[in-house]
């Protein structure tokens, strides 16, 4: 069995950036179920938030993040995020990320719920792609071993410590095991659980399932962010229309052409994402339509083409010139705020196991992620993982975590529900219809019970699709049951039967496996 000081599972910005840092400490292996270039990071248009402007400060960034998190942010983690942000941006510049500049200085733009212009971009709306390409080139040049088309199927735990991983080669079916000093989950999110989503096909909740079955704590799964504006064209997969489009003056109109956001929020189009998403849903219901419009036809054409070249070209390729015609949009699943519970050093409650990026829950996002904080979170906490692991830390988080939490096991539902094994599409439809933007006890109970029944009858996985299906069902159960337990509305979690937030729910729901 081969040994590596660090094994990274996942090859998005979290996996690549962490591997580059880890390579300075020892031997590194990256395991990725697709290719090194296929990840959610490439789809990230909005940019990276950092308080580097002259009229900005870590304190202001801290306050904006806390406000967006709706009472559930970990203040220590947010303070670390905002304070360490400028140094991590410097790291990306040193690595060669070509941030957009004006007169030699990094250009900064505004997004919803930020009180200052603090969003850095590269290539306009191609930030994620530029970062991904830069980091992947550096990983290749450093000779870091990458196993592509290789699925991690089990975290190997012995005497309470994660000491390696079992893998499945998606091309040959070969099963192999690798030993690790530090095992770092960087598998990304779970947007593919929902029928309409902005995520890459790889985002099937694999890291959540792996960690849960290894005994790690999973928290805040009820908080799943739905992006308000994904392109909605017949026969076209949802395509993200960046938050920054509204930041630059894009207007939301219903199918009758009327601007409507002021009816729902004083901030209008710049209200927090969850508010905008729910407002769009309500407006679609009022007008009996499956979309609204984002209108940038009043903006200078050159601004749209230079600021949003990818969005412009994608729409044009599908017959829509957004400088002339408003684009049809609707909400879509976008980002998982919850995940594998970690402390401020990226440690889980399982010794030797760390998590970073969207699969991890650092407590930074609380109930509702502030736009463009996600890539910054990767940079800040990945750096801290390698700092801590280089000192021989054991990966024990429980004694260091200050978040108030209530622990649960997955509910043992009655076994009377007759079901057949689902397809990927059936899982996606169930989660979208029953555990989507608007939730209630009846729909959540139906979803949780169905997912539990599916989990019982799923055959043992034999290939990548069946492993992914198994992971989707388990991750879906965690989302549905957390949403069912939280009898209030807070941040991205909205219950029509409990439409108000309650101070009685200012704590986190944590799930662990076991009886």
Active site residues: 273
- CA dist 436 to 20, 193, 486, 493, Å? 37, 10, 15, 9
Contact present, 205 and 190 (Cβ < 8 Å): yes
User: How far apart, in whole angstroms, are the C-alpha atoms of residue 291 and residue 260?
Assistant: 13
Axis-axis angle for helices 424-434, 441-457 (nearest 10): 160
Q: Would you call 120 helix, strand, or coil by DSSP?
A: strand
298 burial via Cβ count (<10 Å: 0-12, 13-18, 19+): exposed
Q: What are 505's two structure tokens?
A: 């729910």
Q: What are 134's two structure tokens?
A: 């830069």
Phi and psi dihedrals of 181, rounded to 5? -80, -50
Rg (CA), the chain: 22
Element (H, E) at 335: strand 327-336
Sequence-distant (6+) residues with CB within 8 A of 123 are 98, 100, 129, 130, 309, 310
User: How far apart, in whole angstroms, are the C-alpha atoms of residue 332 and residue 386?
Assistant: 34
Q: What are 63's two structure tokens?
A: 């306050």
282 burial via Cβ count (<10 Å: 0-12, 13-18, 19+): middle
DSSP structure string for 237-287: --EE--HHHHHTT-EEE-TTS-B-GGGT-TTGGGS-HHHHHHHHHHHHHHT
DSSP state, residue 191: G
- CA dist 250 to 125, 287, 405, Å? 15, 21, 40
Please give the biggest Cα pair distance in the chain: 68
Q: What are 180's two structure tokens?
A: 């690790």
């Amino acid at each position: 069995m081969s040994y590596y000081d660090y094994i990274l599972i996942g090859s998005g910005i979290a996996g690549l950036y962490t591997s580059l840092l880890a390579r300075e400490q020892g031997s590194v292996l990256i395991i990725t179920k697709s290719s090194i270039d296929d990840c959610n990071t490439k789809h990230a248009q909005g940019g990276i938030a950092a308080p580097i402007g002259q009229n900005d400060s870590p304190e202001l960034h801290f306050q904006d993040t806390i406000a967006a998190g709706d009472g559930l942010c970990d203040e220590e983690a947010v303070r670390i995020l905002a304070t360490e942000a400028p140094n991590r941006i410097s790291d990306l510049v040193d690595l060669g990320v070509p941030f957009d500049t004006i007169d030699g200085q990094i250009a900064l733009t505004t997004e919803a719920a930020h009180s200052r212009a603090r969003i850095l971009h590269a290539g306009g709306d191609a930030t994620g792609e530029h970062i991904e390409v830069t980091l992947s080139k550096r990983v290749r040049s450093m000779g870091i071993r990458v196993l592509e088309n290789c699925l991690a199927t089990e975290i190997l735990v012995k005497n309470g410590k994660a000491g390696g991983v079992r893998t499945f080669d998606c091309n040959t079916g070969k099963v192999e095991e690798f030993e690790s000093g530090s095992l770092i989950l960087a598998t990304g999110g779970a947007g593919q659980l929902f029928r309409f989503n902005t995520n890459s096909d790889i985002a099937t909740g694999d890291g959540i399932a792996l960690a849960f079955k290894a005994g790690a704590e999973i928290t805040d799964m009820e908080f799943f962010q739905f992006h308000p504006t994904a392109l909605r064209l017949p026969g076209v997969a949802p395509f993200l229309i960046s938050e920054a489009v509204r930041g630059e003056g894009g207007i939301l109109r219903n199918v009758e052409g009327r601007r409507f956001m002021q009816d729902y929020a004083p901030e209008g189009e710049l209200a927090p994402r969850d508010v905008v998403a729910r407002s769009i849903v309500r407006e679609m219901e009022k007008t009996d339509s499956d979309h609204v419009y984002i209108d940038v036809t009043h903006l200078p054409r050159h601004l749209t083409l230079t600021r949003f070249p990818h969005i412009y070209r994608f729409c044009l390729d599908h017959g829509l010139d957004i400088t002339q015609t408003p684009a049809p949009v609707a909400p879509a699943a976008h980002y998982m705020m919850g995940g594998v519970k970690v402390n401020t050093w990226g440690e889980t409650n399982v010794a030797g196991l760390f998590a970073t990026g969207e699969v991890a829950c650092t407590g930074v996002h609380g109930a509702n992620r502030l736009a463009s904080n996600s890539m910054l979170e990767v940079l800040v906490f990945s750096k801290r993982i390698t700092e801590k692991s280089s000192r021989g830390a054991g990966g024990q988080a429980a004694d260091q975590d200050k978040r108030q939490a209530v622990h649960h096991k997955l509910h043992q539902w009655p076994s009377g529900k007759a079901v057949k094994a689902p397809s990927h599409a059936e899982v996606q439809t169930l989660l979208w219809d029953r555990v989507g933007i608007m939730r209630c006890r009846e729909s959540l109970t139906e979803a949780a019970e169905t997912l539990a029944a599916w989990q019982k009858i799923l055959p043992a996985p034999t290939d990548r699709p069946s492993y992914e299906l198994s992971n989707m069902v388990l991750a879906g159960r965690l989302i549905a049951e957390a949403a069912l337990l939280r009898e209030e509305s807070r941040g991205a979690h909205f219950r029509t039967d409990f439409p108000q937030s309650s101070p009685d729910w200012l704590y986190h729901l944590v799930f662990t496996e076991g009886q």
